[in-house]
Amino acid sequence: MAAPSAAERLREHGMRVTAPRLAVLDVLDDLGGHPDVAAVAAAVRDRLGTVSTQAVYDILRTLNEAGLVRKLEPAGSPARFETRVGDNHHHLICRSCGAAVDVDCVVGDPPCLEPSDAHGFAIDEAEVLFWGHCPDCRAAAAPTAASWTTASGSSSASPPSAVRTPGSRSSCAR
């Protein structure tokens, strides 16, 4: 069975179907992942011509309040948005490049986490952001074979041998 169209989703939530709302939902579906407002606004402008960034913010807020869009707010990063709603999944965020990846709950029913004391709250969702470094950033940061440059300007894969003159001291602590 095909997923409902953007127009059908808007109607199911009692919302007016407008070209900007359709464009925002379609862009989020097409981009996938977790784009920020700037990326969504740029893609919407490509489709509609002119639309203000503020209008995109307003549409995303309205769609989030209606439950059609989920807003992620990683600390120190711009808000991001996704259309994967209705389940309780979590996210991995790369500290280096900001990539965000969905992570399903490992075990249990939503909210997947149980607080030690709910303080009378009826909890229906837990939001978890796992922070780390993605495989691409880890690979880019991995040390590679060192290239050493000698005093003469030539390079070598091995470090130059220590040259000691009479009376010089080693810089190594022994």
Concatenated DSSP letters for 64-124? HHHTSSEEE--TTS--EEES--SS--EEEEETTT--EEEE--SSSSTT----S--TT----
Nearest one of 85, 72, 73 to 29, comparing CA atoms: 85
More confident residue, 17 or 168: 17
Asked if residue 143 has pLDDT above 80, the reply is no
3-class SS of residue 127: coil
Mean pLDDT of 148-174: 41
**pLDDT above 60 (res 148):** no
What domains lie within the chain, and their CATH numbers? Answer: 1-84 (1.10.10.10), 87-140 (3.30.1490.190)
Q: Which residues pair with 156 in a beta bridge?
A: 148
Residue 173, pLDDT score: 34
Cβ count near 112 (within 10 Å) = 16
Q: What is the mean pLDDT of residues 46-70?
A: 96
Say if residue 55's pLDDT is above 90: yes
Per the confidence metrics, is the pTM higher than 0.75? no
Considering only residues 118 and 95, tell me which one the structure prediction assigns the higher pLDDT: 95
Other C-beta atoms lying within 10 Å of the C-beta of residue 43 = 19
Predicted local distance difference test score (pLDDT) of residue 37:
96
Q: At residue 9, does pLDDT exceed 60?
A: yes
For 109-125, what is the mean pLDDT? 74
Q: Which of 46, 97, 98 is nearest to 72 (CA)?
A: 98
Farthest-apart Cα atoms in the chain, separation: 88
Distances (CA, A) of 26 to 11, 40, 41, 148: 15, 10, 12, 52
